[in-house]
């Protein structure tokens, strides 16, 4: 009996200690000092071999081109393969009752405006590959996953994202034909305010200052087949208006150089790794807004690449949210290609997802 009494006393003593330990490990929002409208983070390593429907929405995906593979993932057993081919064409919009019924969070089902391609595919280059389509510049090939709308966070709150991916397949040399492999969009904006792009088979990152699109960093090679001017100027800003801005005219035409209020500071090695050669792990800290407090930090394979500060996103940004999509989104190109995605996470505190990662002050 004495032994039992001692055990009971020990258990009663341990209960407040356990409660204290739990209190010392708050959820991600409170640990990061989140505002009352902060959004809880999420992560997916795709090891289950199936989609986590509470995280992902598939209304802009082609399920016949989605599969779970064992292609030497970064960690675990599986990676997700997101493919695109010549049969995947025509825009897919997330709207209507059929889509709304599959959406968790209650506010999705929106119709997106399409951002500009910036530089239309050059017909002569496509003809040399045996392609001749009158509508080649308007056909969209999209196969993307979207985070459920419950994960849309205020654009002016800083959130961190991490993802590991690689690409393979048919990658034709067509110059600046739009090819987006990850995008963060302001809910009322036409183009992503931060985008991972793959034009001409060259991985590069762009940030939007209104309708002025600036390339912040790139891997080796040239996305635009204009190697001479680009090799000495990794930061290049071009005018990328939506159709409403185009109709109003003005001094700038689509594709012209444009002035920007963005400031970029780079790390010692600001050349991006090549996802055609191996897995690439990207980490981003993102805070949008045109109040001068916008900031995007970019890390590649653990190394600091660049910090962008200034007016990030579009006007009328107050109260807007950020939505994230990953996969394939491009103008018409021949052949098949695959993006392999192994890890994804986002939240207020990168330490919860990347142990040992030290952000730049």
| Interatomic CA distance for residues 110 and 95, integer angstroms | 5
Query: Does a structural domain hold residue 228?
Result: yes
pLDDT of residue 252: 85
pLDDT of residue 7: 42
| Interatomic CA distance for residues 107 and 303, integer angstroms | 37
Query: Does a structural domain hold residue 19?
Result: no
SS3 141: strand
Burial of 100 (0-12, 13-18, 19+ CB in 10 A): middle
Tell me the pTM: 0.82
Domain hosting 147: range is 46-352
Query: Does a structural domain hold residue 195?
Result: yes
Query: Does a structural domain hold residue 333?
Result: yes
Tokens of 288: 């949008």
Query: Does a structural domain hold residue 7?
Result: no
In which residue are the tokens 């590959």 written? 129
| Interatomic CA distance for residues 290 and 36, integer angstroms | 22
pLDDT of residue 115: 59
Domain count, the chain: 1
In terms of residues, how long is the chain? 361
| Interatomic CA distance for residues 293 and 299, integer angstroms | 20
In the predicted model, residues of the chain with pLDDT beneath 70 are 1-36, 71, 73, 89-93, 95-138, 225-235, 244, 246-249
SS3 347: strand
Compute CA distances 8 → 2, 13, 15, 20, 22, whole Å. 10, 9, 11, 19, 21
- CATH code, 118: 2.60.120.200
Tokens of 186: 């302001």
pLDDT tens digits, 145-154? 999 999 999 9
DSSP strands (E only) in 191-336: 194-197, 204-209, 212-218, 236-239, 263-266, 280-287, 289-300, 303-312, 321-331
pLDDT of residue 68: 94
pLDDT of residue 187: 92
Burial of 248 (0-12, 13-18, 19+ CB in 10 A): exposed
Query: Does a structural domain hold residue 121?
Result: yes
| Interatomic CA distance for residues 352 and 361, integer angstroms | 18
């Amino acid at each position: 009996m004495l032994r039992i009494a001692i055990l009971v006393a020990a258990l009663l003593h341990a209960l407040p200690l356990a409660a204290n330990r739990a209190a010392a490990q708050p959820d991600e929002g409170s640990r990061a000092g989140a505002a009352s409208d902060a959004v809880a983070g999420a992560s997916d390593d795709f090891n289950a071999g199936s989609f986590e429907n509470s995280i992902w929405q598939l209304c802009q995906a082609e399920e016949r081109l989605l599969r779970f593979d064992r292609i030497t993932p970064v960690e675990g057993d599986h990676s997700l393969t997101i493919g695109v081919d010549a049969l995947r064409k025509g825009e897919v919009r997330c709207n209507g009752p059929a889509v709304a019924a599959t959406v968790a969070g209650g506010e999705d089902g929106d119709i997106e405006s399409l951002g500009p391609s910036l530089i239309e595919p050059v017909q002569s280059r496509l003809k040399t590959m045996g392609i001749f389509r009158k509508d080649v510049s308007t056909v969209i090939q999209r196969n993307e996953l979207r985070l459920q709308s419950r994960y849309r966070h205020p654009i002016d709150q800083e959130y961190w994202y991490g993802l590991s991916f690689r690409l393979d397949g048919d990658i034709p040399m067509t110059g600046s034909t739009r090819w987006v492999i990850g995008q963060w969009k302001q809910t009322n904006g036409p183009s992503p305010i931060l985008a991972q792009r793959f034009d001409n088979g060259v991985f590069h990152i762009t940030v939007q200052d209104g309708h002025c699109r600036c390339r912040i960093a790139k891997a080796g090679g040239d996305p635009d087949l204009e190697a001479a001017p680009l090799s000495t100027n990794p930061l290049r800003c071009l005018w990328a208006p939506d159709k409403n801005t185009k109709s109003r005219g003005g001094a700038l035409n689509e594709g012209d150089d444009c002035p920007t209020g963005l400031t970029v500071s780079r790390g010692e090695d600001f050349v991006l790794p090549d996802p055609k050669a191996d897995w690439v792990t990207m980490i981003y800290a993102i805070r949008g807004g045109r109040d001068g407090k916008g900031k995007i930090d970019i890390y590649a394979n653990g190394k600091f690449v660049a910090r962008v500060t200034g007016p990030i996103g579009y006007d009328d940004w107050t109260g807007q949210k950020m939505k994230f999509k990953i996969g394939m989104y491009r103008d018409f190109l021949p052949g098949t290609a695959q993006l392999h995605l192994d890890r994804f996470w986002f939240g207020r505190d990168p330490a919860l997802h990347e142990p040992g990662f030290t952000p730049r002050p």
